[in-house]
């Protein structure tokens, strides 16, 4: 990476930044002396050197963060829209898009974190100064509640963006569920992911409020099957049979929404189901190896299906117990249903009873959850042996629009146009 990492935005040089506008207007409104704030010029602005690092292209037909390689860290945030003004929401989405393009390229937001007017808060909060782009991806989604009529979007709600049904065993916490908007930030460096969400939330101050957020580590599925399969907190390889980011035929069939699916603005997008799944790791850790392997239908070391010797050998479903997770989740048990999983492990302190509040933050992208997550989860909720060790405690469903094509495009343009 270059010293551009924290450089100010060329398009906004010598222009008042977000903070500056607020301060100038605030001072004027309060009857005080309005300070005319100008930002530093390029020459004045201190730039921080950073080394080269992987940046994932932000522009394209699909949003990054779905089929792109899964970095190891996550900060996911769901937002409530607090403004009632459609134009203000549209402006926010434009501002977020501009910021996201900069952040994912490894730049600071707006005019940067320092070197600007001392009277104004800096545009960027600064904690990612000097850090690499770290394969940061930022992916936006729109929840069912955004289409409730506040913003004139009722007719635009895709039929596929259903309210998820209640599944047996669900113990959902409303405070960790739903949301008008979501942003998924994935990066190799947790500070880069957190910085991105924090700065988007900051830009959205007064228009959106964070409803809930989730930090994740240790991806539990990947889109790169050639790489070593990651393991979940139960110690099993997870993501062995996932949709690969290079498998265009499967992505088109199972992940990308098409114009033919009903909502034209979603063509090239996808539907994201997020579930916070608590894993009772203390109970699991006292369970025999045989029972653990029976629960999944795969062995713990190699990850091979029952009766097979290699991880990627085709599973023989009939050889597994009828209650095994892999048998029940497999496409052959669900009329061919498939989804792209890219979840993360989490540990969020304790539950107050001496146990870790740990689990899997399950994220799955699909063309239509009515043909993928919903039937598979129905099957699992009914019979999965894993249910003894897990509990779904948070849930959300989002329409994830197609990618931002170029610098004139913005998140949600097709929806709001």
| Chain residues that interact with ligand HEM, rule: CB under 6 A | 232, 234, 236-241, 275, 277, 279, 296, 298, 315, 325-326, 329-331, 360, 362, 373, 376-377, 380, 390
User: How far is the C-alpha of 113 from the C-alpha of 128, rounded, in Å?
Assistant: 9
Q: Which is nearer to ligand HEM, 89 or 390 (CB)?
A: 390
- Tell me the closest approach of the beta carbon of residue 283 to ligand HEM, in angstroms: 13
Contact 126, 114 (CB under 8 A): yes
Nearer to ligand HEM, 133 or 359 (CB): 359
Type and span of the H or E element at 94 = helix 86-104
Q: Which 3 state secondary structure label does DSSP give 152?
A: coil
215 vs 326 by CB, closer to ligand HEM: 326
Q: Which is nearer to ligand HEM, 123 or 238 (by Cβ)?
A: 238
Rounded distance between C-alpha atoms, residue 191 and residue 238, angstroms: 25
Q: How far is the CB of 176 from ligand HEM (least distance, A)?
A: 15
Kindly tell me which of 7 and 177 has the beta carbon lying closer to ligand HEM. 177
CB of 294 to ligand HEM, least distance (A): 13
| Cβ proximity of 137 and 65 under 8 Å | yes
Least spacing, CB of residue 282 vs ligand HEM, in Å = 15
Q: Closer to ligand HEM at the Cβ: 66 or 329?
A: 329
Secondary structure of residue 409 in the 3-state scheme? coil
HEC letters along 103-156: HHCCCCCCCCCCCCCCCCCCCCCCCCCCCCCCCCEEEEEECHHHHCCCCCCHHH
As measured in angstroms, the least distance from the Cβ of 350 to ligand HEM is 19
Nearer to ligand HEM, 11 or 288 (CB): 288
Q: Give the 3-state secondary structure of 293-306.
A: HHHHCECCCCCCEC
The rounded Cα 375 to chain-centroid distance in angstroms is 22
Tokens of 204: 């959205």
Q: Report, in Å, the least distance between residue 266 CB and ligand HEM.
A: 21
CB of 278 to ligand HEM, least distance (A): 8
Q: How many residues does the chain have?
A: 417
Bridge pairing between strands 208-219 and 181-187: unpaired
């Amino acid at each position: 990476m270059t010293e551009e990492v924290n450089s100010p935005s060329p398009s906004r040089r010598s222009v008042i930044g977000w903070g500056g506008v607020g301060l100038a207007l605030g001072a004027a409104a309060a009857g005080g002396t309005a300070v005319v704030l100008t930002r530093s010029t390029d020459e004045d602005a201190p730039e921080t050197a950073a080394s080269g690092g992987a940046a994932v292209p932000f522009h394209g037909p699909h949003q990054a963060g779905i089929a792109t390689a899964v970095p190891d860290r996550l900060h996911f945030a769901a937002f409530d829209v607090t403004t009632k003004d459609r134009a203000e929401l549209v402006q926010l989405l434009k501002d977020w898009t501009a910021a996201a393009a900069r952040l994912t390229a490894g730049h600071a937001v707006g005019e940067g974190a320092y070197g600007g007017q001392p009277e104004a808060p800096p545009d960027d909060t600064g904690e990612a100064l000097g850090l690499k782009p770290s394969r940061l991806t930022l992916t936006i989604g729109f929840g069912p509640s955004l289409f409730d009529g506040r913003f004139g979007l009722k007719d635009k709600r895709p039929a596929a963006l259903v309210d998820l049904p209640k599944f047996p065993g669900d113990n959902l916490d409303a405070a960790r569920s739903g949301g008008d908007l979501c942003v998924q930030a994935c990066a190799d460096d947790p500070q880069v992911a957190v910085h991105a969400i924090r700065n988007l939330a900051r830009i959205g101050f007064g228009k959106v409020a964070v409803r809930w957020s989730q930090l994740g580590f240790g991806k539990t599925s990947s889109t790169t099957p050639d790489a070593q399969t990651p393991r979940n907190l139960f110690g099993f390889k997870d993501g062995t049979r996932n949709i690969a980011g290079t498998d265009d035929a499967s992505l088109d069939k199972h992940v990308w929404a098409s114009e033919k699916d009903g909502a034209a603005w979603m063509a090239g997008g996808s539907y994201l189901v997020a579930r916070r799944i608590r894993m009772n790791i203390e109970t699991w850790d006292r369970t025999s190896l045989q029972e653990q392997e029976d629960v999944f239908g795969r062995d713990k070391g190699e990850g091979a299906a029952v009766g097979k010797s290699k991880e990627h050998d085709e599973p023989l479903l009939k050889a597994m117990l009828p209650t095994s997770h892999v048998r029940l989740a497999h496409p052959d048990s669900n009329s061919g249903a498939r989804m792209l999983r890219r979840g993360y492990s989490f540990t969020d302190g304790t539950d107050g009873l001496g146990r870790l509040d740990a689990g899997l933050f399950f994220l799955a992208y699909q063309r239509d959850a009515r043909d993928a997550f919903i039937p598979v989860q129905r099957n699992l909720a009914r019979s999965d042996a894993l249910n003894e060790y897990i509990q779904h405690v948070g849930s959300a469903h989002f329409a994830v629009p197609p990618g931002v094509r170029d610098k004139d495009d913005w998140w949600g343009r097709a929806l709001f146009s």
